[in-house]
Structure 1
Amino acid sequence: MKRKLAVGLAAFAAVLGMNTPAFAAGPGGAEACPSGTICLYYNSPQYGWGSFENWSPGWVPHLSDHTFRHWGNGSGYGQQVQDNAASVVNNSGVTWTLCTRSSVYGPYGACEQIQPNYSGVLDDFLYNNVISMHS
């Protein structure tokens, strides 16, 4: 009886989990990206994410005006966000576009869209190369 109950509860939990909307995985604790925002992190996940900065949906014209001001694990704290972001968590519920600087692609360079609930390392061309973003 106990075994059947345990199997039934596990199956119920699996179904419940599949019907629940996902949130960005990202880090927890002091490094957690606040709900309703997008966060850029100083480190890659395998190095502990680090300090971060977050924004609500809208336009962030240039990241040179922003620093990593949330302590996280302390690495990168106070550094300029522009050209220093290694990873991202999109916990905002909207798609964001992150862009680099490159004379080949125009004033804002190559861009990539970051979907809601994504968390992880930035693609190679964005890694330590993001200068602007908007939702």
Structure 2
Amino acid sequence: MNRKLSGWLVCAVAATTVLSLAGPANADAPPTGAEACPSGSFCLYYNSPSLGWGSFEHWSPGSYSDLSQFSFRNWGNNGSGYGRTVYKNAAAAVNNTSYSWNICVPAPAPTNMSCGIPINQGFAGRLPAAAYNNDIAMFIN
């Protein structure tokens, strides 16, 4: 093997190693077609992106203090989760609004709720671990 080729090979291996140590990307490509989150909406999905997103529900910017009042009403491509309550069942989100949203999860008394899990505008992907299938409320920042 000539020196030029072996030098390129070393650089390629080093770059691959550095990229693999960087960890996964913060967001996924948003779903399309029947699963697309409408413009100006915040969407919660029943499945993670790796499982095909599934059914979803969408909201206009605001405050939603009890997600047990909502269900996954949009079929999506595979219909998984259709009709189930959103409360403690959301695995992914798409934020098509110009606001950052906060997801709330259960917390010990006296507050019973912790709302410090931000979902920034433009985000599309799996919910952070603390909110994954643990969502109880949400609001815009």
TM-score, normalised with respect to structure 1: 0.79
Any idea what SS the aligned residue of 2:30 has?
coil
Any idea what SS the aligned residue of 1:99 has?
strand
Unaligned runs of 5+ residues in structure 1 are 1-23
Which runs of 4 or more aligned residues in structure 1 lie more than 6 Å from their structure 2 counterparts after TM superposition? none
Q: Which residue of 2 aligns with 1:92?
A: 97
Distance (whole Å) between structure 2 residues aligned to residue 110 and residue 56 of structure 1: 18
Any idea what SS the aligned residue of 2:57 has?
strand
Distance (whole Å) between structure 1 residues aligned to residue 130 and residue 110 of structure 2: 12
- Give CA deviations for 1:85-107 in whole Å, capped at 9, x if unaligned: 00000001111011101116822
Any idea what SS the aligned residue of 1:100 has?
strand
Q: Which residue of 1 aligns with 2:29?
A: 25
RMSD after superposition: 1.5
Distance (whole Å) between structure 2 residues aligned to residue 86 and residue 68 of structure 1: 12
Q: Which residue of 1 aligns with 2:64?
A: 60
> Is 2:118 the partner of 1:113?
yes
| Identical columns (%) | 50
Distance (whole Å) between structure 2 residues aligned to residue 57 and residue 84 of structure 1: 20
Any idea what SS the aligned residue of 2:68 has?
helix
1:51 aligned residue (55, 63, 68): 55
**Equivalent pairs, count:** 112
Distance (whole Å) between structure 2 residues aligned to residue 46 and residue 108 of structure 1: 29
Distance (whole Å) between structure 2 residues aligned to residue 37 and residue 25 of structure 1: 16
- Give CA deviations for 1:19-48 in whole Å, capped at 9, x if unaligned: xxxxx9310000000000000000000000
Change (3 A) 1:113 1:92: same
Any idea what SS the aligned residue of 1:75 has?
coil
> Is 2:128 the partner of 1:123?
yes
